Amino acid sequence: MAYETAVKVRFCETDALGHISNISYFIYLEEARTDFFVELGFGADLEDWKVIMASAKCDFVSQGYYNQRLKVVSEVKKIGNSSFTIVHRIEDQESGQLIAAGEASAVYFDFKEQKSERIPDPLRSMLEKHLVKEGATHGQ
């Protein structure tokens, strides 16, 4: 099951060429990821935040423009003992055209102890509900 986040491209997110600035895609992916984490039950309380990013990437497939309505589709690609990988597709909301594809690896982390922790079973179950379906294509 995929999680979707709507995005409307603001003028300040475009560059001198009139299309979405490269850095803006990472902002869209972060917004989708943090909303997805809250939906999964990782919490929105920064005092008890349990996720740290290990890596993030984005492939720019097509140009996006000011005022375009996009959707970021997020799914879980892989689940380890203390880490998991999320894949994202940024698509035009109307046509479904792929604009960008991203991937991020996250670690379940104890900030007080400064070390990774095993993902608790209830959260693991939530992640599993969002696993990419076998044979699905994601533009990556």
What domains are defined for the chain? 3-128 (3.10.129.10)
Say what the pTM is.
0.89
Q: pLDDT exceeding 70 applies to what percent of the chain?
A: 94
C-alpha dist (Å) from residue 93 to 50, 62, 75, 135, 136? 31, 14, 17, 23, 19
pLDDT tens-place string over residues 41-66: 776 677 778 899 999 999 999 999 99
Half-sphere exposure for 4 (CA within 13 Å, toward CB): 9
Check residue 139 and report its DSSP letter. Answer: -
With cut-offs at 50, 70 and 90, classify the pLDDT of residue 15: very high
